[in-house]
Amino acid sequence: MSVIAALLACAAPTAAHASFLPPELMDTAAFYLAWFILITVPIAGIVLFWLVHILPEKIAHSVITRRRMRSRRCACCRSSSAACCGPSPGCGRIPSP
């Protein structure tokens, strides 16, 4: 008889909670989490999209700037009759001691 009572007790649980939080607190947390996601995800997506599409232009600009600076240093070294300002990449002239 006690076996049947134990099986019936297991078959009909009283209340089950899947969370460790009370239901009211869980609802409040879900509400604020939803608002946080609705506000931050679109902003982060726009910023990420913008950065990915601006990055190639930034890289190209930095490469062009470096090439310009290298050519200016080389032209400066070639045009001066005094000692060269120092060895620069791309400049074929060696500074005089």
| 38 pLDDT higher than 80 | yes
- Average of pLDDT values for 57-86? 68
For residue 35, name the pLDDT band (cuts at 50, 70, 90): very high
Residue type at position 22: P
CA distance linking residue 81 with residue 57, whole number of Å: 38
Over residues 3-15, mean pLDDT: 73
Task: Residue 66: name the closest of 95, 88, 84, 93 by CA.
Answer: 88
Identify the weakest region by mean pLDDT among 27-31, 35-39, 82-86. Answer: 82-86
Q: What is the pTM of this model?
A: 0.44
* Separation between Cα atoms, residue 90 and residue 67, nearest integer Å: 10
Give 23 or 88, the one with higher predicted confidence: 23
Q: Spell out the domain ranges in the chain.
A: 50-76
